[in-house]
Amino acid sequence: MSHGNPPPEGLSRSHRYFCYVCGTLLPHKVTPNDSFQCRKCLTHTYLSWFIDMKVRFGSENVNDCEITNYQTLPIFDKILADAQKACQAEEVLRKAGEFLPICDNIDGPSVKRDCPYCGNGTMTYVTMQLRAADEGQTVIYTCTECKQKEVENT
């Protein structure tokens, strides 16, 4: 599908999975215009950019190149778990959206907590019982500056 957007400078195969602007793991849902949209910065990554893309090495001598299987790195499990938590949190926000009141004022009491989006040190919160009764509650934090929301299951 032609979208008319040329690929950005420095695009690599890893950008098929991670946003080339902010590095966020891209969703697996393709939009109607044949692209993935980053959940964080809303940048589109078009699948057509990766057609016929060759793997490039930093050295002309392939023997000098070390190809790392990232799944064997110790940090991989944490990165994967964090990405899965983010996806679950987004799903909770989507489900809770119909129950949350729409208002521009502050949502609930404030707490000292750093916003992962803008770094602000104060967030407000509301608690909800969105899961089974024998599981903990869901806390939805809202930044007092950028109004972004963060979900924590307790």
Q: 115 is in which domain, residue-wise? A: 68-154
Same domain? For 133 and 91 the reply is yes
**Distance from C-alpha of 138 to C-alpha of 100, rounded to nearest angstrom:** 13
**Has residue 14 got a pLDDT over 80?**
no
**Distance from C-alpha of 23 to C-alpha of 138, rounded to nearest angstrom:** 27
Question: Is 65 marked as binding a ligand?
Answer: no
CATH of the domain at 116: 2.20.25.10
Tally of structural domains, the chain: 2
Q: What percent of the chain has pLDDT over 90?
A: 3
Same domain? For 123 and 83 the reply is yes
φ and ψ at 67, to 5 degrees?
-95, 120
Of residues 9 and 51, more confidently modeled:
9
Question: Is 103 marked as binding a ligand?
Answer: no
**Distance from C-alpha of 108 to C-alpha of 110, rounded to nearest angstrom:** 7
pLDDT at 116: 85
**Could you report the per-residue pLDDT of 123-134, keeping only the tens digit for each?**
988 888 777 777
Question: Is 22 marked as binding a ligand?
Answer: yes
Question: Is 118 marked as binding a ligand?
Answer: yes
**Has residue 63 got a pLDDT over 50?**
no
Same domain? For 49 and 94 the reply is no
**Distance from C-alpha of 35 to C-alpha of 58, rounded to nearest angstrom:** 28
pTM: 0.36
Look-up of token digits 């910065």:
41
**Could you report the per-residue pLDDT of 33-47, keeping only the tens digit for each?**
677 788 888 888 887
Same domain? For 92 and 53 the reply is no
Question: Is 19 marked as binding a ligand?
Answer: yes
Same domain? For 51 and 121 the reply is no
